Structure 1
Amino acid sequence: MRNFTIYLAILLCLMASKILGQETFEAQAKKIALKIENITNEQKAALKVEVEEVNLQLEKGSISQEQADVKKQQLSQARATIIENKVAVTQQELKELVQAQVEGKINSQDFINSEKSKTFKFYYGKNEIIDNVKRKDSINENKFVKRTSNQIVLATGFNNLMTNGSVENSGFYYLRSSFLEWGLTFNTRLFKDSNLLHLKYGLTGVYNTLYLTNNRYFITDKSQTVVAYYPYNLKNNSSYFKNVFITIPIFLELDFTKNRIEDKDNSFRIQRGFRVGLGGFVGYNTNSKQFLSYEKDGNQITERQKGNWNVDDWNYGLSTYIGYKATSLYLKYDLNPLFKDNAIKQNNVSLGVRFDFN
């Protein structure tokens, strides 16, 4: 578990440094989350237009039902690939942002001087209490407090495979192997007169990447997924194995934010103090891909291999987080092995930083 100690130390430094630059850091991270959401929405809208055009051709009789189904499948795959490639770019932006925060390159004063604008929050449900809360910048605004609020979740960090309860000598690069999770969740206060216990649930997309060491790559040998040495020198930074999941996370959250008592009413605020979440997730594997980049006969070659590599269609596991305000230290562990038929069971484990934006 020595490597986990290293991970923990790095991420604790990150959380400590946010005292000086948290607002700026969270604001930039939220922009990245919104950028990912916009990418998905744009591609879905474009796909809808293309599918409608295929349906029009079908109605006119210029193509058969079978041809229409094939075209729709091809269009859907093309848009999914575009989303995947564009999200990969934003994932790199997020990594650079986290690195800048760790190195203390983000100046919170810039945010204080330029971001004194209104913050818009979107909620649904029945209004329970309306309370005037005094902001840090001395601006009073009405806070509409409700039992359920929607949140954007964004998480990133280290990813690896655990064998026999350890990630030591796993055969994967520790700092390069990473995960990205983003999506929409809902936060519901379970008790009307207590702010302590909350239920969090939603839908997220998860990208898990693994970078093999020693010029190796994955191959399938009958029902087994094994590693082999590649005949050409692989580029370490651009040769990796990636799995994409759609997951449903569920947490019970303890929110230690203090109630604000004003005008004889209790105002229940969330994510203003320390939080602890315990829960789990279930997900479905949408695709598995292996990217191999190397030089052959003076030519730069990049292969993108798509298959299943005996990766289980479903994954499920336990997850937890502990944090302050919108930022948390985040740990996930898959209870089922990544490769379902391998003699040696290897379970995916992720450790990183998580943001929950109201």
Structure 2
Amino acid sequence: MPRRVLLFLLALSLGPTLVLATAPAAVAADRDCGDFASQKAAQIFFLNAGGPSSDPHYLDSDGDGIACESNPAPYYYGKTLPGGGGSSQPEPEPQPQPVTSSVSLTVSPSQRITGERYDLTVTVRPAISRAVTVQKKVNGTWKVLATGTTGAAGTARRALKTPAKTLVLRAVLQPLSKAGKKYTGAVSTSRKLQVQRQKVELEFSQSVVSEGEQTRAVVTATPVRPGRPVALQVKEGGSWVTLEEIEVDRRGRAATQVVPELGTAEYRAVALRHNGAVPASSGTRDLTAVDMTAPAAPFGLQATAGDAVVDLTWSADVPADFLHHEVWVRTADTDWAVLATTTASVFQASGLQNGTTYWFAVSSLDRTGNRSAPTGEVTATPEAPVVEPVDQPSGAPGRR
């Protein structure tokens, strides 16, 4: 046979051998519980893969020799393949042991202010690690509020923020098959989280004080939250301005002294945000500071008597809120009375009785009604003018 033909046949015989020798060995694909339609299918695969002594696919998460316990029926919890041990009859599949479950829910504290934190504690029995759902009732329908998993002791805790409205809550367990046991579902007794409204009140010991004097402001905040800051505010130009921040005590009270500006102003107290609780305001309160300072007394009063009149003059240092002067008069037989008011520093008292002595004084009044001390008294007695007699001419005829 020609040499060229021999070489061609030799190449054909060696080619597939080289390919097979260099091809990589097949590697089994990784599997998880979701790849199996039932727990039984996963268990058989697990045992064929070397379980329970070996678990290369991590199908037995808790190491109890049973794979994919949460998968649906049919179930198989045997530690050897079905029909093992040389028996011609298949090994019967063990049935899961039914276990009655219970769940309880605790809400603590059961009364909170909007924004504050409250704690939910769920306890399941028997005590195992298990998924749990907390539901809230909305318009007659239960809706999911939170989900979680209990620990090995059968408890789970969660801190949540208090909403604006009262909640009705419950805990729910779904049925569970695990470690050869089938746990029933369960629903707890419903619990209520009562949402409280922070009430703030402001009172003044005196609502009207003299200018420059102080009054005591007392703030009461309930429910009581010791240490909660409260701002005392006054309205200026349409905006609220904080005068001072104080803290409530264990009785829910806070107090401070206020010196109001002259006039009337609106005040309020605001419980500020504290440990999550939303701010809350009191109603408004009016506080008035009045001018209690009287004008200075007029001085230098002088009186000049005339015919049934007396002319008065005086001096005065009038304040910015000056209203008028009051002219006072009396006689020996009458008491003091205001004869007239005037903004001038001169006055003529008319219509007087000639020959009668009059006493006069002057005081000043401001717009608040504060009256000064009077001037010193002066007296004057009006007199009719003296008419001199007229002498007759000499030699004039007399009366017969």
| Superposition TM-score, scaled by structure 2 size | 0.16
Q: Give TM-score, length-normalised by structure 1.
A: 0.18
Which structure is higher in helix share? 1
- Name which structure has the greater RCO, CA cutoff 8 Å, separation 6+: 1
